[in-house]
Structure 1
Amino acid sequence: MADADADADSRPNVLLVLTDQERYDASAPDGPPVETPAIDRLSSEGVRFERAFTPISICSSARASLLTGRFPHGHGMLNNCHEPDAIRANLPDDLPTFSAELDAAGYDLTYTGKWHAGRDQTPADFGFSYLGGSDTHHDDIDEAFREHREKRDAPIGEVELTEEIYTGEDPRNADEGTFVAAKTPVDVEETRAYFLAERTIDAIEAHADGDRSDPFFHRADFYGPHHPWVVPEPYASLYDPDEIEPPASYAETYDGKPRVHENYLSYRGVEDFDWDLWAEAIAKYWGFITMIDHQLERVLDALEERGLAEETVVVHASDHGDFAGSHRQFNKGPLMYDDTYRIPLQVRWPGVTDSGATSDVPVHLHDLAATFLEMADVPVPESFDSRSLVPLLENGGDPPADLEWRDSTFAQYHGDEFGLYSQRMVRTDRYKYVYNGPDIDELYDLEADPAELRNLIDHPEYADVRREMRSRLADWMDETEDPNRIWVTDVLEAAS
């Protein structure tokens, strides 16, 4: 028996819960009053990262970065893969991914929910066993969920929604604009969030009932709180729109900002939204977050009940955020505000992370790729732009004294369905600089102006800051072999 114990695989299981367009502040201690008991539990039992950022605020690109450990210019999926103008519909076959590396190293990989990182590829092409809950690329619903709904006598498409909101001139007209929010009459057990939690619990139970000789990696990708924010009771009325206050950025005037910012109001169809309508929509967004959080709570309880909690690392993150009315904007786009680039990130690793620790170290979403590999004692491919967070997790959220860590994050944007639009961004604790190829650049003093309302790019008192931030951006572009680095670096040096 002693020999068997000695030969046992001691590497941890990993549960990655990735939400879709969840804002950082929704679960932050000083954020809005959104109920997130499961995320709060992970924060209290592990490390909560206060400065985690997505490398790009668009679904396919961010998810491809998470898989490959690379910034978008490194993997080439620059915009959404399902659109007809996709720059790259699928990832290159020869590009290393953390999941394929884990699969080769003996991990049992399973996947539920949203994919959206390849038009023709599926999680099975990257080492996962796919357990359902989504389609192969975007928003279609697979047969398993259809059957789940039919068994509960609530077939998809046969329910009457109420309190509907759409973009466009008439926010109650389903014939125009984008579907924003609504209340659904179905039970919580009939939502896709519940179904994905069920599939995840099934995976946990299957591992618990198996021989448990190999560790598992399960990825649960929830379809939400991405719009449309369609939620049942009690979540549809959990938050009173009359009690929701406008964020500071709602005072946006777009004065001194790139023209595309104001253009996006009409492009997204929300130029006529007033605060009452936004508050009604945001109440559904918050309700969606809480509904998903309650499903995560069920998953965490399942780990406890099946005796796997102490040997399982749990990670919660989001691919990117959502404007949800901030800067009066909807969805996301060529606006590099923290609303869509700052993401929640909590890591609970029993026996390793300190309970209730916070980290103010700047990190990227795709740093998780290298992190998972180091947890599994697997070498990190040289192609990765990803840096393992394990040293931070082992040291209360701080870098060890002998480890140098970057004091900034780097991000980019290449356009989505409206066409190409090149942006680069560097952010420190206090400042943010955005390079806008087609228009005026942006500089924000986040200490004096956390809502990012005042563009200081031409302010004479910030000349030294502007010069320093441009230099930081050039360094990031050079270090990551950004193909735009030669042209942009010349522009930045001339502008400084």
Structure 2
Amino acid sequence: MKPKNIVILMSDEQRWDTLNSLSSERSVTPNIDALAAQGISLDRSYTAYPLCCPARASLWTGLMPHGHEVTGNWKSIREDLQDEGLISNFKEAGYHTIYTGKWHVPGTTPQRFHFDDVSAIPAVIEGRDRGRFIEEYREYTQTHGYQLHETHIENLTHSDIGQLKREGKAPYGTAEIKEEHFLETWQTDRFTEALDRRPDDQPFFAVCSYNAPHFPMIVPAPYDTLIKPDEVKLPINFLQGIDGKPSEVLQSSYFSELNGLDDNEWRSYIAHYLGLCALIDKQVGIVVDYLKREELYEDTLIVFLSDHGDMMGSHGLIKKGFPLHYEEALRVPLILAGTGEDYRSSASSNALVSLIDLLPTVAELTGVNIKQKHEGRSFVPLLHGQTSTHRDYVLAETFKIGGSESAVVGGERGGPEQFNVNTDSVNFSIRTSAYKYVFRYRDIEELYNLEMDAGENMNIAASLSSRETLKQLRGLLLQELKEANPFLHEIVANKLIQRGVLEGFAT
């Protein structure tokens, strides 16, 4: 029996290890963990780009960033893709489509991506989707006695902002807005209202996209004190593995912003992050309870995921973004649960999965045909126990289009424009079951043996014993790019030739 309905619940900036009590002495995600127990947790799932807009564009198109061209926050999607999200296939198959919450795919809208019922969507100001700046929510909070800061894009009051600027303190605090009026609570109400409005004679494809646990760490009570600082399990690479890291990482704000904090402040900062994860978990529980109460649960495939992770002190870094190809930024939770499927007791899988694989998988599970060209691969055989593997490796990429004297122009890739990329910004990572290789155009290479060094503390790229592994992984990257984008392949190959490390295989 194939699930009739689809519900996708997405958090923002949530590390994979926030689940299953991996980050604290007590679980902050009991509802999400229970969902995984009813389905399967894909424990090695990776985003295509560790930043909101590119990651989300990849999710909804099934394309890597070099394919859809959203290569940074607020960089518009390729013109010929502005009305071509994969959701159109579900709509054509008879689904009523719903989108509630954060969108963050520049250059298009949920409506243009074929969502019928759209609510709680952030405003577009000066051509930019502002992420959390939602006019309707700002009016709602005002009617309940709160005054949000007039121009701050986050939903913060003046007192909230003051907590982020304390001398010698990490940027965290207790929200002035109470839980019952907090953004995530309000979004869940809008989502269930949209489900109430659905036509009775159609299956539905419904997305609720939350903002938490994205910074800033302003957390409503009681989640601000749910996890005590001394209950926080510091990551195995907390403030570690800095030697051998690229200069573009160590010279970035991701490293300098909280540099010098003591362990207690770090623990408090992480505890507030986990509090936001717990708030998300409550919303998941509310939606699941709604589906059960409305007798929809038995006929619904439920997906939980996040768009990317957060460093949270690993290697002394915070947030996510352009130069960060570490597990904490790339690896995300991904859970599928559906009572009609035979993977209910599968518990978890260590197979390598990319988020671009999600919609092709959901389409196969529901019998929907995808017409558009995409790079995702359905992992239905993995779900059904026909294989224990999926991909030999996952690719992640970060680069910027234009804006530099070093920008060069490539040829057609199926779109109407030529591809103008800042070569200095080109970074790629290849993650296999055992290794992580990072190519950086203007910085050192990185290589980590993840079986022996899960925290990526020791960069072994310069080790003589790593030569053969480096050769193989460079070859994988070049092979991938040669098939996907000859222009980017040329950039990487020429740089490797310049470095004198391209011997031994054809480019």
Per-residue deviation at 1:31?
4.4
* Residue type of the alignment partner of 1:408: Y
Taking structure 1 as the reference length, what is the TM-score of the superposition?
Answer: 0.87
Per-residue deviation at 1:315?
0.3
Spell out the pairing of 1:83-232 with structure 2 (5 A cutoff).
Answer: 86=75, 88=76, 92-93=80-81, 96-119=84-107, 121-128=108-115, 129-136=117-124, 137-157=129-149, 160-161=159-160, 164-166=163-165, 170-171=167-168, 180-207=171-198, 210-211=199-200, 213-232=201-220
Q: 1:467 to 1:457 in 2, by over 3 A?
A: same
Per-residue deviation at 1:363?
0.8
**Given that residues 239 and 313 in structure 2 are in contact (C-alpha distance below 8 angstroms), is that contact kept between their aligned partners in structure 1?**
no
> Of residues 328, 348, 372 in structure 1, which corresponds to 2:316?
328
> Of residues 395, 408, 411 in structure 1, which corresponds to 2:393?
408
Q: After TM superposition, what 4+ stretches of structure 1 lie above 6 angstroms from structure 2?
A: 416-419
Per-residue deviation at 1:393?
2.2
Per-residue deviation at 1:231?
0.9
Aligned to 1:453, what secondary structure does the other structure show?
A: coil
**Given that residues 407 and 429 in structure 1 are in contact (C-alpha distance below 8 angstroms), is that contact kept between their aligned partners in structure 2?**
yes
**Given that residues 55 and 366 in structure 1 are in contact (C-alpha distance below 8 angstroms), is that contact kept between their aligned partners in structure 2?**
yes
**Corresponding residue of 2:436:** 432
Per-residue deviation at 1:29?
5.7
CA distance in 1, matches of 2:272, 2:316: 16
Q: 1:482 to 1:365 in 2, by over 3 A?
A: farther
CA deviations on 1:110-130 (whole Å, 9 max, x unpaired) are: 1111011015x3211111121
Q: Are residue 377 (structure 1) and residue 367 (structure 2) matched?
A: yes
CA distance in 2, matches of 1:289, 1:187: 16
**Given that residues 163 and 183 in structure 1 are in contact (C-alpha distance below 8 angstroms), is that contact kept between their aligned partners in structure 2?**
no
CA distance in 2, matches of 1:22, 1:405: 23
Q: Are residue 392 (structure 1) and residue 382 (structure 2) matched?
A: yes
Q: Are residue 344 (structure 1) and residue 350 (structure 2) matched?
A: no
* Residue type of the alignment partner of 2:341: V
**Corresponding residue of 2:287:** 299
> Of residues 451, 455, 468 in structure 2, which corresponds to 1:451?
455
CA distance in 1, matches of 2:344, 2:260: 46
Per-residue deviation at 1:455?
0.5
Q: 1:423 to 1:386 in 2, by over 3 A?
A: same
* Residue type of the alignment partner of 1:146: R
Per-residue deviation at 1:273?
2.6
Per-residue deviation at 1:364?
0.5
CA distance in 1, matches of 2:401, 2:209: 21
* Residue type of the alignment partner of 2:379: L
Per-residue deviation at 1:409?
0.7
**Corresponding residue of 1:67:** 60
Aligned to 1:323, what secondary structure does the other structure show?
A: coil
CA deviations on 1:26-85 (whole Å, 9 max, x unpaired) are: 01464444410111011100010011000110111000001110000000111111xxxx
CA distance in 2, matches of 1:215, 1:278: 46
**Given that residues 131 and 199 in structure 1 are in contact (C-alpha distance below 8 angstroms), is that contact kept between their aligned partners in structure 2?**
yes
Using the TM superposition, name which of 349-358 and 332-341 deviates more: 349-358
Q: 1:275 to 1:91 in 2, by over 3 A?
A: farther
Aligned to 1:451, what secondary structure does the other structure show?
A: coil
**Corresponding residue of 2:416:** none
Aligned to 1:383, what secondary structure does the other structure show?
A: coil
> Of residues 477, 482, 488 in structure 1, which corresponds to 2:481?
477
Taking structure 2 as the reference length, what is the TM-score of the superposition?
Answer: 0.85
**Given that residues 40 and 383 in structure 2 are in contact (C-alpha distance below 8 angstroms), is that contact kept between their aligned partners in structure 1?**
yes
CA distance in 2, matches of 1:418, 1:331: 24
Aligned to 2:99, what secondary structure does the other structure show?
A: strand
**Given that residues 254 and 261 in structure 1 are in contact (C-alpha distance below 8 angstroms), is that contact kept between their aligned partners in structure 2?**
no
CA deviations on 1:440-459 (whole Å, 9 max, x unpaired) are: 10000011111101110011
Aligned to 2:207, what secondary structure does the other structure show?
A: strand
> Of residues 20, 26, 32 in structure 1, which corresponds to 2:12?
20
Q: 1:166 to 1:442 in 2, by over 3 A?
A: farther
Q: 1:382 to 1:101 in 2, by over 3 A?
A: closer
Per-residue deviation at 1:103?
1.8
Which structure 1 segments of 5+ residues have no match?
1-8, 173-178
Per-residue deviation at 1:164?
2.1
- How many residue pairs are counted as aligned between the two chains? 466
CA distance in 2, matches of 1:322, 1:416: 24
